[in-house]
Amino acid sequence: MNISKIHFELSERKILLRLFDLVFIAISLFFVSSIFNFDYFEIRKENWTWLLLLAGYVTVFGSIFELYDLQKSSKLETVISSIFLTTSVTVLFYLLTPYLTPSLPENRIQILYFFLAIIVSLFLWRIIYINFISAPRFYKNVLLVGEISTIETIVDAFKKSDPNYKIVGFVNCETTHEDSVRYKGIPEYKPSEIMEVIKKENISEVVVASYNSETITQRIYADLMLLLESGFPIKEYTQVYEDISYRVPVQFVGKDFYKYFPFSRNNKNKLYLAYRRLFDVLLSILGILISTLFLPLVLIGNLIGNRGPLFYSQERVGKNGKPFKIFKYRSMVTNAEANGAVWAKKNDTRITAFGRFLRGSRLDELPQFINILKGDMSIIGPRPERPMFVRELSQIIPFYETRHIVKPGLTGWAQVKARYGATIDDSLVKLQYDLYYIKHRGFFLDFSIILKTLSTVIFFRGQ
């Protein structure tokens, strides 16, 4: 079957955003230097390092200020602040590195030209992206084949993860529930209509979302085989779920779990593990030194707003289930758990006014650099949980103990991607992100987490 509809994959849209940011900036600077009396930044082959450094600044600061967040980039009103912050900090750092960049111009108005050239080019490319690349004409139309019991969860997860991934209908292969159960969110089609729907709705992909392969009838199986043999994309739902949401859907994994957990080879890679330990030691030493700069502020704030001990320690579960004592600045009232341990929650009344600032800025985590230096924790990894909550969650959530095969971290994939974990459902989502990190961890993912952590701190999203 011919696939006539054009669509852009998640990774392709991220590459397009980054690539054309740089292309538009280069064109804009070339235009300004040609039309106006602008000689601060002239694009010539002798000055290629200037452009390379500018590209690096835009890419790094764009990642920190969420310029490449696909949810934000799909709406102009949500991406404007990212454009302004990225441009401002990029220009500031560019001006502050004169040994690597052009000498400061005598005519200071040229700095304004430089700033406007970058911000206008980013703004113009985002308008084009929103009206063309992110427009409905480029949505990927998908047909879901599966069981009615899992349809709603999967549809909601895909919709939240990628607005351009549009499930236009589903085929229910649970014949026993044909009359008793219905899902009203998207159109339902009969198994005999698969070929017709693919042509009529311009379907680009079929996703098979069957928890039990026995429910797939012979008729559906024959049609899927025919599509596969003609080169039509057919994917398994856990694969798609992981690719677009960046988490492992453990709630859909059954007795064949070993197929879904080919964990990253870096978990046994001696070179990677040595780099991680060196990175942890160097960064924890730097973190402890930086902590001393904030110590006067924390001491005064604790004296006025907390009125009690500055530090507190608590038992947490580490690698291979081994318990250890974690150190933090106290952010709750004294004797916060006089009636027993309870889940912390958003807007918890036990958190003091200064404690809320410590959590929002992540300053309460600074003492954990001591844990990292000792080797109990790493900079990046799943957040360590308390033993009693681990016992409780492992009884309810499948594969929960699996997160302990690596060291817990000061920050992690779940911390930068998920909301505050105050319920069982929140813990499930965080576990999905943790397992994704364990499955895919490497240099690039670690770097991405560091950048997103900086975004969390800058936008005061710590909890």
Distance CA 87, CA 81 (A): 10
Asked if 70 and 167 sit in the same domain, the reply is no
Distance CA 324, CA 328 (A): 13
pLDDT digits (tens, 9 = 90+) for 200-223: 988 989 998 876 666 777 888 899
∠ CA 313-316-321, rounded to 5°: 150
- Domain boundary residue, one of 100, 133, 166: 133
Residue 291 has pLDDT above 60, yes or no: yes
Q: Are 203 and 168 in contact (CB under 8 A)?
A: yes
Establish if 358 belongs to a structural domain. yes
Asked if 288 and 430 sit in the same domain, the reply is yes
Of 187-191, 265-269, 369-373, where does mean pLDDT reach its minimum?
Answer: 265-269
Asked if 53 and 149 sit in the same domain, the reply is no
CATH no. for residue 177? 3.40.50.1380
User: CA dist 373 to 206, 280, 332, 358, 405, Å?
Assistant: 49, 7, 25, 22, 19
Segment 160-187 shows an average pLDDT of 74
- Domain boundary residue, one of 133, 154, 174: 133
Establish if 258 belongs to a structural domain. no
Asked if 283 and 233 sit in the same domain, the reply is no
Asked if 101 and 151 sit in the same domain, the reply is no
Per-residue H/E/C for the chain: CCCCCCCCCHHHHHHHHHHHHHHHHHHHHHHHHHHCCCCCCCCCHHHHHHHHHHHHHHHHHHHHCCCCCHHHHCCHHHHHHHHHHHHHHHHHHHHCCCCCCCCCCCCCHHHHHHHHHHHHHHHHHHHHHHHHHCCHHHCEEEEEEECHHHHHHHHHHHHHHCCCEEEEEEEECCHHHCCCCCCCCCCEECHHHHHHHHHHCCCCEEEEECCCHHHCCHHHHHHHHHHHHCCCCEEEHHHHHHHHHCCCCHHHCCCCHHHCCCCCHHHCCHHHHHHHHHHHHHHHHHHHHHHHHHHHHHHHHHHHHHCCCCEEEEEEECHHHCEEEEEEECCECCCCCCCCCCCCCCCCCCECHHHHHHHHHCHHHCCHHHHHHHCCCEEECCCCCCHHHHHHHHHHCCCHHHHHHCCCEEECHHHHHCCCCCCHHHHHHHHHHHHHHHHHCCHHHHHHHHHHHHHHHHCCCCC
Query: Which pLDDT does position 239 carry in this prediction?
Result: 86
Residue 367 has pLDDT above 50, yes or no: yes
pLDDT more than 70, % of the chain: 89
Of 97-111, 247-261, 378-392, 425-439, where does mean pLDDT reach its minimum?
Answer: 247-261
Asked if 71 and 195 sit in the same domain, the reply is no
Establish if 348 belongs to a structural domain. yes
Establish if 255 belongs to a structural domain. no
Establish if 337 belongs to a structural domain. yes
Establish if 253 belongs to a structural domain. no
Establish if 406 belongs to a structural domain. yes
Asked if 123 and 166 sit in the same domain, the reply is no
Asked if 415 and 311 sit in the same domain, the reply is yes
Who has greater pLDDT, 299 or 307?
Answer: 299
Asked if 436 and 296 sit in the same domain, the reply is yes
Establish if 261 belongs to a structural domain. no
Asked if 337 and 378 sit in the same domain, the reply is yes
- Structural domain that includes position 167: 139-245
Distance CA 139, CA 5 (A): 9
Asked if 199 and 168 sit in the same domain, the reply is yes
Segment 406-413 shows an average pLDDT of 94
pLDDT digits (tens, 9 = 90+) for 69-104: 888 888 889 899 999 999 999 999 998 887 788 777
pLDDT digits (tens, 9 = 90+) for 98-129: 778 877 777 778 888 899 999 999 999 999 99
- Domain boundary residue, one of 211, 245, 279: 245
Looking at the structure of the chain, the number of domains it has is 3
Asked if 98 and 161 sit in the same domain, the reply is no
